[in-house]
Amino acid sequence: MKKELTNAFLMKLKPPSVGRDEISDTKRSGLRLRVYPARAVWMYEKRVKGGAKRKHTFGTYCTWSSTGKREDGAIGLGEARALALEIEAEAARGIDRVLEAQQARRDQERAAATAQTLQDVLDVYDELHLSTLKRQGERKRQLEDALRKHLAQPIGDLTRASLQKPIDDKAKEGKMFMANRIRAALKHFTRWAWRREYLSEDVGDRLERATKEQIRDRVLSLDEIRAIWKLTYELGDLWGSPVRLLLLTVQRRTSINNLRKSELELAKSRFRKAISQEKNDRGHITHLSAPAMAEIEKVLARQEQAKAEAKKSKKSGKTPAASDFLFTTTGRTPISGWSKMKTRLDELLGDEFEPWRLHDFRTAFATHMAERGIPESVVDRVLNHAATASKASAVARVYNQAELLAERAVALDKWAELVTQESADVIELEGRQNV
């Protein structure tokens, strides 16, 4: 309904029983009174010059109680027309109140976001992104270590220089590849934070690499492998066994570090990793050669002895809780400190030993086994890789998960013999000679 509104008319206004009524003021075009069963509110609609048509709500003209009693609101007819005239003048000059209000809200939200501490945002990043990664804890510790001096500061104070420093510091230690890993972690975090407006710009976008990485061609010789094997016995019980098992099984470090007793199938001389435990989302069975079995049995025997001694000890109030981790010092988490162990092992090897990484065990196995006639498909399955020469189809990967288990056992038995220089009980395959 259109009508020139007056105070006398509005005083006689009655609310509808359901729905709403709308009265347009003919004196001030675009001004309307919307009448609901419990209230009447002012709204004004006007197109901004060169922009969109905008609706503005001014406030309440009056309200009605459930008994029909009326109470005046904050905005009367005169004030509503004055506000409409003000907005009309602004719209004629291209001023968009709605857009400005939206921008103001965004600015406030952004200011609130950038005022959060770096630690607060890291915790959100951990919950929303890192929790989806298999190395969640490791990645979060990496970020917290790199940004430790800034964790209590507002994330908006983060600068490119403060991000570059931990990368450069790690590079000064000679750990170039680790410096690059830190850079990658920081870049992903800042990009994530910028997209969610915790940062006004992606300050990690142009971080410098510590070094340009190339494909490694380092292959440990058998003499080097054997030197490492012998020196692991100087690492003590805590680190000697996991490093020797890593060398004998040539699995990824995390697979051995997080190995659980429930994954062992000692009667079959193997352990089985679930899909969720493997990097490539494929479950994996690893054969245990005689030396590998011996290492595991020694670890289990030491743990049983420790339990028995703790139970007999008068100083201990209770027997330590059983842990499913094969390698653990706390009973709750797997061992940690591989970097320190590697540093100690390098010291034992001496300065003349060419730089190497634990991952080189896998490359050495692949190379030396291939030289001895082990098929590439067998090597790939031992390492839990998809075959490079003839990648299996999706159907084959589903239905042939146990393929070449016997051949893989032969390869690992032979590898153990090469490493330890002790004769191994290599599994015989019908119609095929051992290599």
- Residue 181 sits in a domain whose CATH number is 1.10.150.130
Write down the pLDDT at residue 107: 77
The reported pLDDT for the residue numbered 394 is 45
pLDDT at 399: 42
236 and 365, same domain (yes or no): yes
Give residue 133's pLDDT band: very low, low, confident or very high (50, 70, 90): confident
In a domain? residue 107: no
Q: Which pLDDT value is given to residue 390?
A: 43
Average pLDDT, the chain: 87
pLDDT at 404: 87
Question: Average pLDDT, stretch 126-139?
Answer: 84
86 lies in which domain range?
2-95
Residue 388 within any structural domain of the chain: yes
Decide: 48 and 56 in contact? Cβ < 8 Å: no
Q: 280-307 burial, b if ≥16 CB within 10 A, otherwise e?
A: eeeebbbbbbbbbbebbeebeeebeeee
Q: Is the pLDDT of residue 24 over 70?
A: yes
* 194-215 tens-digit pLDDT: 999 899 899 999 999 988 866 5
pLDDT at residue 55 is higher than 70: yes
Do 295 and 259 contact (CB within 8 A), yes or no? Answer: no
Tell me what the mean pLDDT of segment 92-96 comes to. Answer: 93
What is the domain count for the chain?
3
Choice among 8-22, 99-113, 179-193, 313-327 with the minimum mean pLDDT:
313-327
69-73, 97-101, 174-178: which is most confident: 69-73
Same domain, 9 and 126: no
- Residue 427 pLDDT > 70: no
Residue 27 inside a domain? The answer is yes
Please check whether residue 259 lies inside any domain of the structure: yes
* Residues 241 and 344 grouped into a single domain: yes
pLDDT band with cut points at 50, 70 and 90 for residue 261: very high
Q: Is the pLDDT of residue 432 over 90?
A: no
Residue 103 lies in a domain: no
Residue 433 has pLDDT above 50, yes or no: no
Per-residue confidence (pLDDT) for residue 270, from 0 to 100: 96
**pLDDT, average across residues 2-25:** 94
Which whole number is the average pLDDT over 416-431?
A: 66
- Residue 162 forms part of a structural domain: yes
> Is 271 domain-assigned?
yes
pLDDT of residue 175: 86
For residue 115, the model assigns a pLDDT of: 79
Q: What is the DSSP string of 127-182?
A: HHTGGGSTTHHHHHHHHHHHTGGGTTSBGGG--HHHHHHHHHHHHHTT-HHHHHHH
**Length of the chain (residues):** 435
The reported pLDDT for the residue numbered 102 is 86
The two three-digit tokens of residue 342, written as one number: 């590697």
Q: How confident is the model at residue 135 (pLDDT cuts 50, 70, 90)?
A: confident
Q: Is residue 66 domain-shared with residue 118, that is, in the same domain?
A: no
- Asked if pLDDT for residue 402 goes beyond 60, the answer is no
Identify whether residues 124 and 91 lie together within a single domain.
no
Q: Annotate 332-364 with DSSP letters as a single string.
A: SS----HHHHHHHHHHHH-TTSPP--TTHHHHH
| C-alpha span between 56 and 82 (Å, rounded) | 13
pLDDT at 103: 86
244/389 same-domain check:
yes
The pLDDT assigned to 314 comes to 59
Residues 349, 398, single domain; the answer is yes
pLDDT digits (tens, 9 = 90+) for 352-396: 888 899 999 999 999 999 999 999 999 999 999 854 444 444 444
Q: What is the pLDDT of residue 177?
A: 83
Residue 136 binned pLDDT confidence (cut-offs 50, 70, 90): confident
* 157 touches 150 (CB < 8 A): yes
